[in-house]
Structure 1
Amino acid sequence: MNQQFRRGGFSILPPVVKNLLIINGLFFLATIGLGQAFNIDLIKLLGLHYVGASDFQPYQYITYMFMHSATNYAHILFNMLALWMFGNTLENVWGSKRFLIYYLVTGIGAAVVYTFWIHYEIMPTIRAVDHFLDNPSMTAFAQFRNSDFFQVASYDIQNNFNAFVDSYNRLSKTDQNAALQETINFMSQYKQDYMNAHTVVGASGAVYGILLAFGMMFPNQIIYLYFAIPIKAKWFVIIFGALELYSGISNKPGDNVAHFAHLGGMLFGFLIIKYWKKKGRLY
């Protein structure tokens, strides 16, 4: 495609795309290997946590985009296939430095948008927990426990809740004050576990930024959806963006996809391309 854009000719695997593929692959293998051999949870260390969580670290805004689920092979395969299919053209057009800047900015931008979205999502539950902690009582806990605010969002929450139930049932028979203190301790731990439960990983934010760029740069280029259905790049991007927006707003139970991170990557990509175009530096 458009070989004239690169002085050295068109490369099917330019250096930044190649190295991104290698880095993502190595991180994926390390996630599996270290987890099985040493019980080291790289996703906990390098995945992006909510900024108020105890597991959050600022470097996660970068490291999260090189991590992928060790149990969902389709996640990394789709991202890496899209990175190669569309990223190689963009790197040949822009050059390696500009492509790398674009990739990192859209990936970080996706994380920023996700942070704002997850804050909006989890704050009702956090406020409900704080309300209980300010005025603890077994009646208030029962109201929280039976509300939509109580969500078993991780194995840690499930395990701690099971241990709490056993302890509470034992204490409530002999000492109501101790049972209430146990409930307060559980709710304090629940707050931390709940904030830590929302972790995002994957190159998808940056990849959606790449899809957006390809659609804007080559709007009439034919893409074969599922390798069979021909569709122009501009419609491909519009459809994918609309589906992500619908899925994000719908927020169906059990949907663990960070749709607003994908949209964040597209948003930041759009802003970067518009800025470069305004400055006359798009090519």
Structure 2
Amino acid sequence: MFPKLTPVTKNIIILNVIIYVIANFIYPNLYPLLQAYFPLSPNFKSWQIITHMFMHAPLGEGYGIMHILFNMMTLWSFGPVLEQIIGEKKYIILYFLSGLGGFVLFNLWNYYEIHQLIQSLTSEGINVAEIFQKANIHYSGSMSISAKTPLAVEQSQQLYNELVSPMLGASAAIMGVVAGFATLFPDAKLYMMFIPIGIKAKYLVIGFVIISFFLQITGKTLGIAHFAHIGGAIVGYIMARNFVKNQYRIN
């Protein structure tokens, strides 16, 4: 089921597991420090652009341990093959740029939604700077908001939630790896749990991207950053195509 682990893939999996154990059993304060917040949130730190790729849902919350288990199993399934084909250096570049692509696309969508909320709240006479202040995870003052209409109350809560809700996980980077694999081996048949027939890799990735786009646009996200997955897949596809195109270039 799983190919032999290659050096880079093995080290990425080990690092993810080590950080998960430390964050859940030794130093839980790693979560607010290393998971990524919206770049304009008072909780955002520049290093989170990278570190969020090594954080996964805490035990007993959200998807819990299944989050890291599914991600690492997927990486183990596709990573070694791609790593051997394109080489360790290009594989590392593809992995992290896919993760960054996911971060950028997800937060571009967040920016659109937050901008709409800010405009609406401002027209309601709400001081949005007050909401940004209260969204700081270290804030300890009053949480009351000067909203007088049901709409303003609802949108104030929505803005607050956007500013305190973190993004975490290696899913975007791993989707880049899966998309890279599908680009190099588009007709490879993949077998998934509960599906008795093989699905070509190219159709699986295309279908996943379409479904993710639909779920994000309709708001049926279930706590999943679907646009991050799409961003990772796009970057992985572009980079894998570029690697193939330049494979036999003579310098």
Instruction: Tell me which interval the TM-score lies in, with the shorter structure as reference length.
Output: 0.7 to 0.9
The amino acid across from 2:126 in the alignment is F
Cα distance in 1 for residues equivalent to 2:95 and 2:154: 38
In the alignment, what sits opposite 1:161? none
Residue 97 (structure 1) shift: 1.2
Structure 1 residues 229 and 204: alpha-carbon distance in aligned structure 2, compared to 1, 3 A threshold: same
Aligned match of 1:133 in 107, 118, 127? 127
Matched position secondary structure for 1:28? helix
More displaced stretch, 268-277 vs 43-52 = 268-277
* TM-score (norm: length of structure 1): 0.72
Cα distance in 2 for residues equivalent to 1:77 and 1:229: 24
In the alignment, what sits opposite 1:158? none
Aligned match of 2:206 in 223, 234, 238? 238
Matched position secondary structure for 1:229? coil
Residue 59 (structure 1) shift: 0.8
Structure 1 residues 62 and 281: alpha-carbon distance in aligned structure 2, compared to 1, 3 A threshold: farther
Matched position secondary structure for 2:198? strand
Question: Does the CA contact (< 8 Å) of 2:36 and 2:167 recur in 1?
Answer: yes
Matched, 1:65 2:36: no
Residue 234 (structure 1) shift: 1.4
Q: Decide which structure has the larger Cα Rg and report it.
A: 1
The alignment-based identity, stated in percent, is 32
Question: Does the CA contact (< 8 Å) of 2:94 and 2:239 recur in 1?
Answer: yes
In the alignment, what sits opposite 2:141? none
In the alignment, what sits opposite 1:47? 35
Matched, 1:75 2:67: yes
User: RMSD between aligned alpha carbons?
Assistant: 2.5
- How many residue pairs match? The answer is 225
Cα distance in 2 for residues equivalent to 1:233 and 1:23: 28
Question: Does the CA contact (< 8 Å) of 1:103 and 1:206 recur in 2?
Answer: yes
Question: Does the CA contact (< 8 Å) of 1:31 and 1:41 recur in 2?
Answer: yes
Residue 75 (structure 1) shift: 0.8
Structure 2 unaligned residues grouped into runs of 5+:
131-145
Residue 262 (structure 1) shift: 0.3
Matched, 1:103 2:109: no
Matched position secondary structure for 1:256? coil
* TM-score (norm: length of structure 2): 0.81
Cα distance in 1 for residues equivalent to 2:248 and 2:42: 42
Matches within 5 A, 1:115-154: 115-130=107-122, 131-133=125-127, 141-143=147-149, 148-151=154-157
Cα distance in 2 for residues equivalent to 1:79 and 1:51: 24
